[in-house]
Structure 1
């Protein structure tokens, strides 16, 4: 069986990203190694195994990729939450800037925030579809 073990997000500043993803979003540090001029930092959501590598985004390819995503208004990653409205309120209270407030998009509620290190991040919550008509009605 193949599974996702690690994915990455390019960041302007690894230490600032580490603080944002850890202190603000609540991720736990899995790895924080000094590689002599760079750091290898991974974080995980509590109770999960998939690591998010906070990848230095200073290469020309990374800069072009991030700039293109940002100019198009596209998030670099999508994170799931149980209660998006509560997370939006909590994060807004911490000074997080949202470029899109909680908005329904079909079967999900989503919002987009600025991660302070060059990226847009989407938060999503599946919506219960109790409004569907009952069989036979």
Structure 2
């Protein structure tokens, strides 16, 4: 068993696509029209055959209170792994990304949290390099 697709709710699919591709650097995988919405997924350019992230329309009535509660409590809806958190943090800040939590040491790794402009908090995680004696 493996994860092939996961989703995040977004307020506006086209704005989310622009943020996730132009700002974060993901690439569009699928863009299939479905009425007023689309089956719209992005993937990491480092893993084009890897897991897809579905930019899911947030129209269901349960989505707003759920996301509002997560944001109010500072809980990220999704987590992405990066190799160098400090470098990624600087790159994204230069692109205008607003972080709600700058990089912080959490023991075995470093985390930071940003606002994806689409209604979600996203956590970045980087494992600390293992030390060899």
Which range, TM-score by smaller chain? Answer: over 0.9
- Which structure 2 residue ranges, 5 or more long, are not aligned? none
Matched, 1:36 2:50: no
Per-residue CA shift, 1:66-108, capped at 9, x if unaligned?
A: 1111111000000000111011111100110000001101101
Question: For residues 77-96 of structure 1, what are the structure 2 equivalents within 5 Å?
Answer: 77-96=78-97
- Distance apart, 1:19 and its partner CA: 0.6
Runs of 5+ consecutive residues of structure 1 not aligned to the other structure: none
The count of residues paired between Structure 1 and Structure 2 equals 131
2:25 counterpart residue number: 26
The 2-side partners of 1:36 and 1:99 are apart by: 35
Q: Given that residues 99 and 114 in structure 1 are in contact (C-alpha distance below 8 angstroms), is that contact kept between their aligned partners in structure 2?
A: yes
Cα RMSD (Å) of the superposition? 1.3
Partner of 1:113: 114
| Structure (1 or 2) with the larger CA radius of gyration | 1
Matching residue of 2:124:
123
Instruction: Report if the CA contact (8 A) 1:32-1:39 is conserved.
Output: yes
Instruction: Quote the offset at 1:128 in angstroms.
Output: 2.4
Specify the SS of the correspondent of 2:62: helix
Q: Distance in 2 between matches of 1:67 and 1:58?
A: 14
**Residues of 2 paired with 1:112 and 1:47: CA distance?**
21
In structure 1, distance between residues paired with 2:129 and 2:46: 24
